[in-house]
A and B are shown apart, each in its own frame.
Chain A
Amino acid sequence: MIKVKVNGQQRDWDGDPDLPLLWYLRDEIGLTGTKFACGQALCGACTVIVNKQAIRACVTSVSDVVDREITTIEGLHPTGDHAVQKAWRQVNVPQCGFCQTGQIMQAAALLMENPKPNHDQIREAMAGNICRCGCYQRIENAVHLASTGV
């Protein structure tokens, strides 16, 4: 039995401890905001925050995150109004939207570490997150907006 804490809620997992956290979140506890797109830590669609750091849930085992605080998009802000989420809506970032929860989690983690990133820092920090629809210009602007308010 493994104890996992997701969005502040303590849970028990009695299945395979090596199960990637992504599938635990999606299929076992129904938190589907975290997405699967590559399974190899290549795209960032599955990004969640563990102890203030963005991690890729597709290559992280459930047993790796025992005793850690896992935050998924569903738990980023109680009413969905984190500065990053608000900025995303203000800039109309998404096209299909599929990558966006991962992008938002990555951006939120970036701002925890560096509250005022410049454009180069944003582009570098967000480069691990693919958006096939190509919303990069708006993502960059939204991260900037979330960090500066303008």
Chain B
Amino acid sequence: MNVITNPGKLRGIERRVQVEKISRRGILKGLGIAGGFVLAAPVMTRQAFAYKTGAGDMPHGTVADPRVFVAIASDGTVTIVAHRAEMGTGVRTSLPMIVAEEMEADWSRVKVQQAHGDEVRFGNQDTDGSRSTRHYLLPMRQIGASARAMLEAAAAKRWGVPAAEVKAVNHEVVHSATSRRLGFGELAADAAKEPVPNVEGLKLKNPKDFRYLGKGQIGIVDLRDITVGAAQYGGDVTLPGTKYAVIARPPVTGGKLKSFDATDAMKVSGVEKVMEVQGWPWPSKFQPVGGVAVIARNTGAAIKGRDALKIVWDDGANGKYESTAYRTQIEEAARKPGLVVRKEGDVDAALKGADKVIVGEYYLPHLAHVAMEPPVALANVKDGRCEIWAPVQSPGGTREDVAKTLGIPQENVTVNVTLLGGGFGRKSKCDFAIEAALLSKAIGAPVKVQWTREDDIRNGFLHTVSAERIEAGLDKSGKVVAWRHRSVAPSIASTFAPNAVHQAPFELGMGLIDMPFEIANIQCENPEAAAHTRTGWFRAVSNIPRAFAVQSMVGELAHATKRDQKDMLLELIGSPRIVKLDSVKDPWNYGEPYDSYPIDTARLRRVVEVVADKGGWGRAMPKGHGLGIAAHRSFVSYIATIVEVSVGAKGQLVVHRVDTAIDCGTFVNPERIESQIEGAAIMGLSLAKYGEITFKDGKVQQGNFDDFPVIRMDEAPLITHVHIVPADADAPPSGVGEPGVPPFAPALINAIFAATGKRIRALPIGKQLET
């Protein structure tokens, strides 16, 4: 029997040793036996929500069964399963904390156990789209409340009193009439025998009795491990006999291996084998692109071996992709009519009849995610089974893809999710895990595939490149009466389907068709754009170029009509109302029902007003300083940002202060919201100042942090203030991880304009301020 009485001991070296013998499934099972809740067959419950979310429409929906998520050991240790991936948002703490809150568990006696990939058992695990809290606040509360009810029922039976007379309080159940109390550990075995209560009949805690939720007092569960080097990321798990591999991949998307010469590579000390890795033709979805693998006794030897390879590639159809020419092409496309994706009134007539038309043309290049941890995965394929340890955002998807690729049933694949050293959307794609599985199968040993930074930048799934063009028509009084926005960008759909030239609904819905301004004549268009490299989700996705264009245009309009930026913004947002998107075929709305998550301009106005107030909008500026503002709704949250900059005589940009107000509905962990928003400002500044991936002859021209720089501490904003706008009590939770990014760059650019009179319309800023 596989009993682990103290899962907390499974740390660091010990955990590394244990991990080989005990699969995650084993650990869960062991906990069940050691504790009270014996894991039953998976029960899938599609919940009736107090407010509706799109959670039930996600693959495999949600599971709200306490027997799947909670185990209580006889010593009282409560183990709560975290089924979403931790990439820095704090979700591995926040979701279990919700369960602990509802079940009255004492957080100091809670252990968090990471779930392996199994969506039938745990519900959807695809950690992206800023969805975790949004989709799981209620199910996690229900799980906790069910566990609490089962513990209370067990105690009531033991004492022979009605269940209504007992109450769970801080890790014990109390019968106050007789001052009797029993700890959770003492009740665990009996509680497990109680039926799981019906969700409809559950009594959730009154929010005013919350001990943890909304308080922000609890550090992340991995805090100590992280600071002592014991936290395990993708590359930190090793099995006996592990071989280390790096892969040379085709430098052009869709390219293929022609031939290779491994003679010199094989001479490198430590190199054991060089072999071809299977690749899939473009569009290759999340499958590997193929190449040549060098397998060695350690990663350093493998890298050195790869440097010594001589390879001839066939570049294929994308060998001519060149960024300067492509930019011209999409900018031209933005000047011509394209597929109409939203239409209200008659924009052509209104522009023709306008007193003044302001045109803004904006360009944003490809970006690489450069999560601090490059992709890495360990796979062990043996006897028709495969076990994987990898930092994947979607362990369920990984399991499915690995099984399909290896041609084995999903039940034979176990995907263990390590911590992710950042994800930002890159690790939604599991190509690196598939590579490890293919190599392990081929050589019959565990294989760890490590991507170098160069691999990450040159063979990733880049953020799209885009041209945005907005024409705004003003009447005599300066009121905006016409708005045409054309957005031209290769679609993520091109990674899945050949010849996808239009944006998918989920891309159109990120800042284009959901534009909230109150303007009589609105038209949004999406001219065609062909893709020549793999594109993928990048934190906040299409919201980055759209918010940049729309909010820069607000600044341009304010200047043209001599108005204050914030006043102009509020005027454009218009009256407090629910925006109607009747002319849009598929409004998408982040997958959420519009009734629960409408575009509510009152909330957008409110974050603007709050940030203006708290951020000191209109305060006197020293010479050379300027303030800029931008607001954007994304991932069904509302954000507004003010940036204060100064620009020196030689163009030196200093960000003195950032203020961001966020309304993300009901929230769980304000401390992590703050850290996400602080980080979003840095990522926003990185992409605004430096972010640019360019192509020549089909190849990415950058490779590391020297030619694809990101912000370092010496140029980070001097201070970032985060203002969380409390939402109405019944406001459903909304996204936090991504929405902080989009408004930053336009607020910065508007601030630079205020400081210098220079309007930047193409990112990155690069040397534009120097001239």
Contacts and interface: CB of A to CB of B under 8 A. Distances in A.
Interface of A: 15-16, 18-20, 22-24, 26-28, 30-40, 42-43, 45, 72-74, 76, 80, 85, 88-89, 92, 94-101, 104, 122-124, 126-140
A38 B702 CA distance: 13
B682 A134 contact: yes
A85 B372 contact: no
Contacts of B419: 96-98
Given A37-B453, A38-B453, A139 B713 contact: yes
A36 B299 contact: yes
B88 interface: yes
Interface residues on chain B, size class: 35 or more
Nearest to B719: A137
Q: What 9 A-B pairs are tightest by C-beta distance, nearest first?
A: A33-B229, A134-B682, A98-B421, A23-B300, A96-B88, A73-B229, A134-B679, A95-B88, A97-B226
A35 B421 contact: yes
B229 A96 contact: no
B16 to A, nearest CB: 7
B288 to A, nearest CB: 21
Given A30-B16, A38-B453, A132-B424, 5 more contacts: A22-B300, A42-B706, A98-B419, A124-B714, A126-B713
A97 B222 contact: yes
B402 interface: no
A50 to B, nearest CB: 17
A96 B244 contact: no
Contact of B713 (A22, A34, A97, A127): A127
Contacts of A136: 682, 711-713, 716
A45 B269 contact: no
Nearest to A96: B88
A76 B304 CA distance: 30
Nearest to A73: B229
26 contacts: A15-B269, A16-B301, A16-B304, A26-B299, A32-B229, A35-B233, A37-B373, A39-B704, A92-B219, A92-B675, A96-B87, A97-B88, A97-B222, A98-B419, A98-B421, A99-B421, A100-B227, A124-B714, A127-B714, A132-B372, A134-B678, A134-B679, A134-B681, A134-B682, A136-B711, A139-B713
Contacts of A16: 268-270, 300-301, 304
Interface string B698-714: 00000011100011111
B228 A73 contact: yes
Contact of B675 (A28, A74, A95, A132): A95
Contacts of A140: 713
A35 B373 contact: yes
Given A38-B704, A130-B705, A19 B227 contact: no
A128 B706 CA distance: 12
B378 to A, nearest CB: 12
B298 interface: yes
A19 B705 contact: no
Contact of A85 (B228, B676, B678, B713): B228
Contacts of B230: 33, 74
Contacts of B713: 122-123, 126-127, 129, 131, 136, 139-140
A72 B229 contact: yes
B671 A92 contact: yes
Interface of B: 13, 16, 86-90, 219-220, 222-224, 226-233, 235-236, 238, 244, 268-270, 297-301, 303-304, 370-374, 419-424, 450, 452-453, 671, 675-676, 678-683, 704-706, 710-714, 716-717, 719-720
Contacts of B219: 89, 92
Nearest to B371: A132
Contacts of A96: 86-88, 371-373, 419-423
Contacts of B222: 94, 97
B88 A27 contact: no
B301 A137 contact: no
Contacts of B87: 96
B300 A19 contact: yes
A89 to B, nearest CB: 5
A43 B300 contact: no
Interface of A is mostly: loop
Contacts of B681: 134
Given A89-B219, A132-B422, A98 B719 contact: no
Contacts of B421: 35, 37, 96-99
A27 B446 CA distance: 13
Nearest to B682: A134
A99 B371 CA distance: 10
A130 B712 contact: yes
B223 A32 contact: no
Q: Which one of A22, A38, A73, A95 has the greatest number of beta carbons of chain B within 10 Å?
A: A95
Contacts of A39: 303, 452-453, 704
B649 to A, nearest CB: 21
Given A80-B227, A80-B228, A98-B372, A132 B299 contact: no
A58 B668 CA distance: 39
B679 A94 contact: no
A129 B229 CA distance: 16
B239 to A, nearest CB: 12
B300 A99 contact: no
A58 to B, nearest CB: 9
Given A92-B675, A134-B682, A23 B298 contact: yes
A89 B16 CA distance: 24
B675 A138 contact: yes
A15 to B, nearest CB: 6
A45 B371 CA distance: 12
Nearest to A27: B298
A61 to B, nearest CB: 9
B163 to A, nearest CB: 39
B678 A32 contact: no
Contacts of B710: 130, 132
B678 A80 contact: no
Contacts of B86: 96
B372 A99 contact: yes
A94 B714 contact: no
Nearest to B448: A27
B247 to A, nearest CB: 15
A69 B680 CA distance: 39
A53 to B, nearest CB: 19
Given A33-B229, A96-B87, A130 B671 contact: no
A95 B86 CA distance: 9
Contact of A42 (B424, B705, B714): B705
Contacts of B370: 132
A16 to B, nearest CB: 4
Contact of A32 (B236, B268, B304, B371): B236
Contacts of A36: 235, 299, 374, 450
A88 B213 CA distance: 23
B229 A74 contact: yes
Nearest to B707: A42
A90 to B, nearest CB: 9
Contacts of A34: 229
Nearest to B13: A30
Contact of B300 (A20, A30, A139): A20
Nearest to B298: A27
B677 to A, nearest CB: 10
A137 B705 contact: no
A134 B539 CA distance: 13
